[in-house]
Amino acid sequence: MAKRIMKSVKQSLPGPDDIYRVALSNGITVLARSSFDSPSISMGGYLPAGAIFESDAKLGLADFVSSSLMRGTQTRTFDAIYNELESVGASMGFDSGVHNTSFGGRTLVEDLPLLLNLLSESLQTPTFPANEVEKLRAQLLTGLAIRAQDTSDVAAMAFDRMLFNDHPYGRPSDGFVETIQSITQKDMQEFHRAHFGPKGMIIAIVGAIEPEKAVEEVERVLGGWQVPGQVSALALPAHKPVKKTIKHHHALAGKSQSDLVIGMIGPRRKDPEYLSASLGNSVLGQFGMMGRIGDVVREKSGLAYYASSSLNAGTGPGTWEVSAGVNPKNLKKAIGLIENELRRFIKGGVTKVELADSQANYIGRLPLSLESNSGVASAIMNIERYDLGLDYYQRYEGLVKNVTRAEVLETARKYINPDRLVISTAGP
């Protein structure tokens, strides 16, 4: 019985037999998969129009532009766009990061044409109306003011700046007060004109629709989009590793908590040791009560309000970092405990039981992450983004089970050097 259940689970995972992938002639790649469990559709996607294209003087421009796309188009006002979405119970939104501007939406299957029409208009013909741009600017500046007083945000921002010195990953994608204030409507129009286009765009549609029909709908609204001058994505510059531990404390008066981030460069998502690093990180600071870090800093010593580790991997070099929120008087002691735990981790690695528990957790939670249409859409976009292969999720269980303790230890030693850490703290 158990074997039949496992076989059924594997067959239900996205794979080459049910992921329909079509490259349109203008450079858009469409991924579609049917799921008739509910009458809904989830849509997601991205295109290469991120913060990597910004100058230092205009940091936050990509975020500003993406947040403005639905504020008005050549045929619809801000109110008209949102009234149409609300009238059918649909949703849609845009976001941006270092490399891409991303989008997502949900609707009933019969309203997919409307959702795609609104997506097409927002991508192709935004007008950046002055009154809406100024309302949004005020919101962005308020967010930056809040960020400047948040010890966690300040510590994380300084960590990125030190770890990625003179690198695009070291810059905040939401910019600074002075850069947001300097961005003009013309800047937004020029950024959109140069970087928004079909080349390199990915769109995934999952739900109660035949895949061929989904592709037809995308081609109907976006197949004719042409931007001859679309600027190609930039190659990332080489990263300069730190040669010794560097520390920085950002003083914020009147705070009752200090936040810290301690870490180093981690693997890219496509690197062969990514999975061994991820499983190792689960043991270090994720699994159960936030792993070994949570156990030693929070549970046993009572020094932290929270303490965990994270592995952030993407297109370029990732980060492997430990973060914690502590009483300011415990800051130095908490840093010492974390450094000691990192040394212990690269000395002995993980135990057989720790690795087995994390492997079982990874395998067990995969089907849960794919229960929703949005989860599947996100999963198949990751397959495309990182060139993992259409059968990745069907191979996933074997990939996880094949990671050994020796591989986890080797990976930890490759990336974690307790004598070359970046330590960022913020608080009183």
The tens digit of pLDDT for each residue in 24-48 reads: 999 999 999 999 999 999 999 999 9
260 lies in some domain: yes
Residue 238 lies in a domain: no
- Please provide the distance, in angstroms rounded to a whole number, between the alpha carbons at the two ends of the chain: 59
Q: Is the residue at 131 inside a domain?
A: yes
Can you read off the two tokens belonging to residue 164?
């990625």
Q: Are residues 188 and 317 in the same domain?
A: no
Instruction: Tell me which of 172, 190, 222 is where a domain ends.
Output: 222
The confidence band for 237, taking pLDDT boundaries of 50, 70 and 90, is confident
**Is residue 354 domain-resident?**
yes
Mean pLDDT along residues 270-276: 96
The DSSP element (H or E) to which 20 belongs, if any, is strand 20-23
What average pLDDT is seen over the chain? 94
How many Å apart are CA 119 and CA 225, to the nearest integer? 12
Do 304 and 401 belong to one domain? yes
Listed in order, strand segments (DSSP E) in 200-302 are 202-207, 246-251, 258-266
Query: Which of 187, 222, 257 is the last residue in one of the domains?
Result: 222
Which tokens hold the place of 101? 């501007």
**Average confidence (pLDDT) over 135-151:** 97
Q: Does the residue 4 lie in any domain?
A: no
Same domain, 290 and 404: yes
- 131 and 92 in one domain? yes
231: in domain: no
Stronger pLDDT, 82 or 240, i.e. the higher one: 82
CB 312 within 8 A of CB 322: no
Residue 12 has what pLDDT? 83
- What is the pLDDT confidence band of residue 3, given thresholds at 50, 70 and 90? very low
**Mean of the pLDDT values across residues 386-393?**
96
Question: Is 110 within the bounds of a domain?
Answer: yes
| pLDDT tops 80 at residue 4 | no
- Quickly state the pLDDT bin for 312 (edges 50, 70, 90): very high
420 and 280 share one domain: yes
100 and 149 share one domain: yes
pLDDT at 414 over 50: yes
User: In terms of domains, do 254 and 132 share one?
Assistant: no
Residue 170 lies in a domain: yes
201 with 259, same domain: the answer is no
Verify that 175 and 317 share a domain, yes or no: no
pLDDT tens-digit readout, 55-105: 999 999 999 999 999 999 999 999 999 999 999 999 999 999 999 999 999
Q: Tell me, what CATH number does 192's domain have?
A: 3.30.830.10
The answer to whether residues 277 and 192 belong to one domain is no
Residues 209 and 250 in one domain: no
Show the domain range for 166. 17-222
Separation of alpha carbons 31 and 207, rounded Å? 12
* Claim to verify: residue 270 and residue 180 sit in the same structural domain: no
Q: Could you tell me if 264 and 416 are in contact, meaning their C-beta atoms sit under 8 angstroms apart? A: yes
Q: Are 287 and 357 in contact (CB under 8 A)?
A: yes
* Domain finish residue from 179, 207, 222: 222
Domains: count for the chain: 2
The H or E element containing residue 367 is helix 352-369
Output the pLDDT for position 118: 98
